[in-house]
């Protein structure tokens, strides 16, 4: 395991634990983790995941400012209707259908469909997290479990373990946010 992967895992754990607590610093830890992962994933033949990490760095800046310190002006935890989730899933399917063949042909992706699907779904789930939509945690349970398998297949064992832990921690995040919304 490369030192960059180990550092990315550490900052990634800090990110998810802080996000569950709705602590604004989660976005700083997430930004550092994703900056490191851009290189790790590129080296592992996962170009879509590498590109996603670059987007995540920018989303971390946005998320940091979206989660203002002043709780009175911060976005409240909320729900999305099922129809919005279905529409988002359709968009992910379309984006995957377009990007997977391109990633296979031009970026020599090791797993173009899984790489593309995980990338587009992660973008939507991160946007939901920044908007404080409770359903983001259900998205992350599925996405993280799938990505754990992808990363294990690529020999990124510590990252696979991190994403499996993310899936379990997403259950805790879902429970925590639901309790706060009803409190």
Using a pLDDT cut of 70, give the percent of the chain over it.
94
Using a pLDDT cut of 90, give the percent of the chain over it.
61
Residue among 134, 125, 112 at smallest CA distance from 182: 134
**pLDDT in the model for residue 45:** 87
Using an 8 Å Cβ cutoff, are 142 and 128 in contact? no
Cα–Cα distance for residue pair 18/160, rounded to 1 Å: 20
**pLDDT in the model for residue 29:** 97
**pLDDT in the model for residue 132:** 83
Q: Which domain holds residue 131?
A: 3-68+81-182
> Quick check: is 73 in a domain?
no
Residue 74 has pLDDT above 70, yes or no: no
> Quick check: is 95 in a domain?
yes
> Quick check: is 178 in a domain?
yes
Residue 58 has pLDDT above 90, yes or no: yes
Residue 183 has pLDDT above 70, yes or no: no
For the entire predicted model, the pTM comes to 0.82
Q: Select the more confidently predicted residue: 109 or 175.
A: 175
> Quick check: is 90 in a domain?
yes
**pLDDT in the model for residue 21:** 85
> Quick check: is 106 in a domain?
yes
> Quick check: is 44 in a domain?
yes
Looking at the 3D structure of the chain, how many domains does it have? 1
- Summarised one tens digit per residue, pLDDT across range 121-174 is 999 998 898 788 889 999 999 999 999 999 999 999 999 999 999 999 899 888
Q: What residues have CB less than 8 Å from 8, skipping those under 6 apart?
A: 33, 34, 36, 37, 40, 159
Cα–Cα distance for residue pair 123/89, rounded to 1 Å: 12
> Quick check: is 159 in a domain?
yes
> Quick check: is 7 in a domain?
yes
């Amino acid at each position: 395991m490369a030192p960059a992967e180990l550092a990315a895992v550490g900052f990634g754990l800090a990110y998810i634990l802080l996000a569950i607590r709705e602590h604004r610093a989660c976005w700083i830890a997430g930004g550092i983790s994703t900056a490191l992962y851009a290189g790790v994933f590129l080296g592992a033949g996962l170009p879509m995941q590498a590109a996603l990490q670059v987007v995540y760095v920018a989303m971390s800046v946005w998320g940091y400012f979206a989660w203002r310190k002043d709780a009175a002006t911060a976005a409240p935890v909320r729900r999305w209707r099922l129809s919005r989730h279905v529409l988002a899933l359709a968009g992910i399917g379309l984006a995957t259908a377009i990007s997977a063949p391109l990633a296979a042909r031009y970026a020599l992706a090791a797993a173009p469909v899984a790489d593309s699907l995980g990338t587009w779904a992660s973008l939507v789930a991160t946007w939901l997290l920044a908007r404080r939509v409770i359903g983001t945690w259900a998205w992350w349970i599925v996405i993280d479990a799938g990505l754990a398998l992808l990363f294990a297949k690529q020999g990124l064992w510590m990252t696979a373990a991190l994403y499996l832990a993310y899936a379990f921690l997403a259950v805790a995040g879902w429970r925590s946010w639901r309790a706060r919304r009803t409190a």
